[in-house]
Amino acid sequence: MSGLEIVRWAHGGEGVGIPREGALAGRVVFVPEVVPGDVVDVALSEVKARWARGRVRRIVRPSAARVPVPCAVQARCGGCPWMPGSAEAQGLSRRAILVGELKKRLGLGEEAIAARLEMRESPVRFGYRQRVRLRFEVDPRGEVTLGFTKQGSHTLVAIARCEVADERINAALPMVRRALSEMAGGQALAGRVTLVVGVEGVAGHVEARDGRELHLGPERVTLELGEHRQAVAPEGFVQANAQVTGQMLATLTAWAGEERRHHDGDPWAVELFAGAGTLTLALWRCGWRVVAYEVSERARPGFEHTRIASAQPPERARWHACDLALGLPLPAPPAPALIVLDPPRTGAADVIGWIRGAGARAVVYVSCDLATGLRDVAALAAGGRYEVARVVGLDMFPHTAHQEVMFLLRAMDRPAG
Ligand SMILES: C[S@@+](CC[C@H](N)C(=O)[O-])C[C@H]1O[C@@H](n2cnc3c(N)ncnc32)[C@H](O)[C@@H]1O
């Protein structure tokens, strides 16, 4: 197909064109590795009744939104598919995708969306990642290949540096290579290494496929997350973008702080998928006692560390290891006035029933996947149980189609505060 104009980026990160004439007229054609505004010739690989997919054969006319790409492996790595587009083009697409999904999945109209939605950009677009997970392979001569797995394949794309990683992580890569080579001890070895950078430098956690683990650098590093600081170990979950996590904590502090004013005494908030307590920092900041649930026992010492560093006594912070895929354990937590959840990509379908019945006046849902996040938010709102009061789109991963979205839901039958 020739002369297809790419009109936007889609939810999954590919470009979209809709031919006006020819055999595919009116059908949506998905094309990866393009920028909105490009006019391209496409080699079709898949044609269905309502859509088609193809690859760029030639860029006939490049988009005015194209910008120079500073990364040597961007086209092969696949981690930053939107990098050839300007920050403005990326921001417009993120908003358009989110607005489209809010209409489709929550039934909100333009006016309701305009009144509720706020988009925030990442203050830094390169060197923004405080956490990077790399794959490695070491050959029997001790040569180390360090890189990313190309999306949708098993191919390891070797890197010398990563343009979206914090510069201190790039500077630590030679040390990581030496440590991996030594760990391999003349044998072939493969696995993955997670690197986290904080005030003290870079800490790493190596997980080899043969089951061995290795810790690199300081045991914990202190992250600066807006007004908050948190010492974390690389073994547990760490949010990718420090500055956007600061925005997230500021938003949660504002919402949870406003909710707190409606409650006398010393109310409880329940936090689900709490990890080592990054979001808990904001809840403590505005005076909530917190019961936290998290599947990974490894996060327990991190949470304890965060509690002590935040000068919170044990009675203000309960942390339970529990698999929320099996629902909430009994005995049930104290009746929560506020529920906060930040589930993994698969969402939180198994706890939606519990949340709907728990009686909280407000729920904050932090989503890292639009499809599962909106599925769960729609289920919380179903039957008028909760209404979506605020939506904030955060640019946690610039140059990608991933969106971090925060939803504030308010109970419809809530007593006046
Ligand atoms: C997106 S992270 C959020 C962590 C934390 N809020 C933070 O900001 O660091 C999701 C967390 O959910 C936890 N998790 C994943 N599956 C779970 C399950 N079935 N039950 C409980 N926790 C789970 C993960 O271990 C991870 O800590």
pLDDT tens digits, one per residue of 245-285: 999 999 999 999 999 999 999 999 999 999 999 999 999 99
Residues 6+ apart with CB under 8 A from 351: 272, 324, 327, 328, 341
Q: With a cut of 60, say whether residue 386 has pLDDT above it.
A: yes
- Burial of 266: CB neighbours in 10 Å, binned 0-12, 13-18, 19+: exposed
Residue with tokens 């728990």: 358
Q: Which residues of 280-299 are buried (b: 16+ CB within 10 A; e: fewer)?
A: bbbbbbbebbbbbbbbbeeb
Ligand 1 pocket member 275 (CB < 6 A): yes
Other beta carbons within 10 angstroms of residue 219's beta carbon come to 12
The full set of domain ranges for the chain reads 4-66, 91-124+241-411, 131-232
Instruction: Tell the residue nearest (CA) to atom 23 of ligand 1.
Output: 295
Instruction: Please name the residues in contact with 166: beta carbons below 8 A apart, sequence gap of 6 or more.
Output: 127, 128, 129, 130, 197
Cβ proximity of 280 and 290 under 8 Å: yes
- The CATH code of the domain at 91-124+241-411 is 3.40.50.150
Distance CA 388, CA 409 (A): 5
Alpha-carbon distances of 247 from 87, 106, 123, rounded to whole Å: 18, 25, 10
For the domain with range 4-66, which CATH number is right: 2.40.50.140, 2.130.10.10, 3.90.550.10, 3.40.630.30? 2.40.50.140
Question: For a pocket test of ligand 1, which of 232, 271, 295, 352 has the largest count of ligand atoms closer than 8 A to its C-beta?
Answer: 295
Dist CA 93 CA 347 (whole Å) = 23
Asked if domains 4-66 and 91-124+241-411 share a fold, the reply is no
| Residue 36 CA to ligand 1 centre (angstroms) | 35
| Per-residue pLDDT tens digits for 74-129 | 989 889 999 999 999 999 999 999 999 999 999 999 999 999 999 999 999 999 99
Ligand 1 binding pocket includes 295 (Cβ within 6 Å): yes
Take atom 6 of ligand 1 and give the residue whose Cα is closest.
Answer: 274
* pLDDT range class, residue 14, cuts 50, 70, 90: very high
Ligand 1 atom with minimal separation from the 280 CA? 6
Ligand 1 center to 387 CA (angstroms): 25
CB of 341 within 6 A of ligand 1: the answer is no
Ligand 1 mean position, distance from CA 302 (Å): 13
Q: Which of 54-58, 149-153, 227-231, 295-299 comes out lowest in average pLDDT?
A: 149-153
Encoded amino acid at 399, one letter: H
Q: What is the pLDDT of residue 153?
A: 81
User: For residue 43, what are the β-bridge partners?
Assistant: 55
Q: Which of 223, 237, 293 to mutate to test the pocket of ligand 1 (most atoms within 8 A of CB)?
A: 237
| H or E stretch at 249 | helix 242-260
**Is the whole model's pTM more than 0.85, yes or no?**
yes
Average pLDDT score over the chain = 95
374, 101 contact by CB (below 8 A): yes
